[in-house]
Amino acid sequence: MTQVNFSRPDYDVIVVGARPAGAATALNLARGGARVLVIDRAPPGLDTLSTHALMRAGVTLLDRWGVLPRLIAAGTPVVRRTVFDYGDQQVDVAIKPAGSVAGLYAPRRTVLDTTLANAAAEAGAELRYGERLELTLKDPSGRVRGVMTRDNAGHTRRITADLVIGADGRNSTVASLVGAEPYATEDHMSATVFGYFDAPASDAYRWIYRPGTSAGIIPTNDGQVCAFVSVAASRYRDALANDPHAAMRRYFAETAPDMEAVIAAGPSDKLRRFPGAPGFMRQSFGPGWALVGDAGYFKDPATAHGITDALRDADSLARAILSGAPGALAAWQATRDALSRDLFAITDRIAAHDWTPDELKMLHQNLHAVMKAEQAHVAQTETALAA
């Protein structure tokens, strides 16, 4: 077996996963002068199973990093309103411009993830696609010192680093290899079907709620909307799985007649199906390792907040690492949890899909307060990392 030299690591940081959490962490670490390797088992530019409405904190960070102008240049339309449709009431909320940021955005993941990864590479991070993490390398004390990877041609490599970051999604291999334990879980899950439909231009996120079902219309690139319908995961088979397009047609015909023809014309590509997955918060740092994004904290998509949180936590994780301060990672996780706990609980309630309209309106008011606190946190972090 080849001897691994732990005393002179190949990189300061290895990041596993090159999507929002991993690419954003690598971007900020590389701009801070760290030697960073990012690996991803997937090829670049691949879509993923997720809608992609971004919230204010996420958009603010993308702007701060200089990524937002590229997303806009790629044809991502601005969202200036959010419309909540409760059946008995419609609430139309204007998104106020903030500085140079005109509103919210929902770039296709093919656009967002690729743009972030390219920015990380331009900042000096090395990116390798088609290479999967297989094992973590540990020293005799159990501290993680690097990784063993396998590329698509079957070649294995041992690569050492001071820190290995799992940004490898909710089924994180890094989390299982280091034994990262969950300490909070959600009780409810929702199931979602979604797809892309050619539609007239719109400047609004539309969230539509009826007893037991929620839906949304999200303007995105290429003159399309991402439209979805969600129910409690326990109802997935009966309500959605059999004929998702028929279910979507019925639902939008009843709740949003202006969208009936758009949905009836059919998606430009296959409909995507997400049967649900349980949310969790897990221990996200230890000797020589950390977890960011869904790898450390996954919640039901019911509040469309996973990417925003992944960007928020990537930003603060990079700061914590670059500070080199003792206890910085523990403080980072504590801040993540303080900012996330209420959102996690609200998401869990919304995912249950058993609310009354009045309870749902109250949950949305609470969500608004949580998002304001999150935005305030992001706004007060200094911009020193942005080059």
Ligand X SMILES: Cc1cc2nc3c(=O)[nH]c(=O)nc-3n(C[C@H](O)[C@H](O)[C@H](O)COP(=O)(O)OP(=O)(O)OC[C@H]3O[C@@H](n4cnc5c(N)ncnc54)[C@H](O)[C@@H]3O)c2cc1C
Residues that bind ligand X (CB under 6 A): 16-22, 39-42, 48-53, 132-133, 167-169, 173, 192, 274, 293-295, 301, 304-308, 310
d(CA 235, CA 232): 6
d(CA 112, CA 67): 9
The two beta strands, 126-129 and 36-40, are parallel
In whole angstroms, the minimum distance from the beta carbon of 173 to ligand X comes to 4
d(CA 259, CA 239): 20
Nearer to ligand X, 175 or 325 (CB): 175
d(CA 120, CA 15): 11
Burial class (CB in 10 A: 0-12, 13-18, 19+), 278: middle
Nearer to ligand X, 314 or 360 (CB): 314
Nearer to ligand X, 5 or 171 (CB): 171
Three-class secondary structure of residue 183 per DSSP: strand
Nearer to ligand X, 152 or 356 (CB): 152
d(CA 107, CA 239): 28
d(CA 351, CA 299): 10
In whole angstroms, the minimum distance from the beta carbon of 287 to ligand X comes to 20
Nearer to ligand X, 117 or 322 (CB): 117
d(CA 163, CA 14): 6
Of 264, 278, 265, 280, the C-alpha closest to 337 is 280
d(CA 385, CA 378): 13
d(CA 325, CA 221): 42
In whole angstroms, the minimum distance from the beta carbon of 279 to ligand X comes to 11
Nearer to ligand X, 8 or 190 (CB): 190
Nearer to ligand X, 48 or 90 (CB): 48
CA atoms within 13 A on the CB side of 312: 29
- What's the token pair of residue 93? 């909320």
In whole angstroms, the minimum distance from the beta carbon of 255 to ligand X comes to 19
Separation of first and last alpha carbons in the chain: 42
Nearer to ligand X, 256 or 326 (CB): 256
Exposure b/e, 26-64, CB count within 10 A at least 16 = b: bbbbbbbebbbbbbbbeeeeeeeebbbbbbbbbbbbbbb
In whole angstroms, the minimum distance from the beta carbon of 326 to ligand X comes to 27
In whole angstroms, the minimum distance from the beta carbon of 228 to ligand X comes to 7
In whole angstroms, the minimum distance from the beta carbon of 154 to ligand X comes to 15
Nearer to ligand X, 104 or 325 (CB): 104
In whole angstroms, the minimum distance from the beta carbon of 330 to ligand X comes to 21
In whole angstroms, the minimum distance from the beta carbon of 180 to ligand X comes to 14
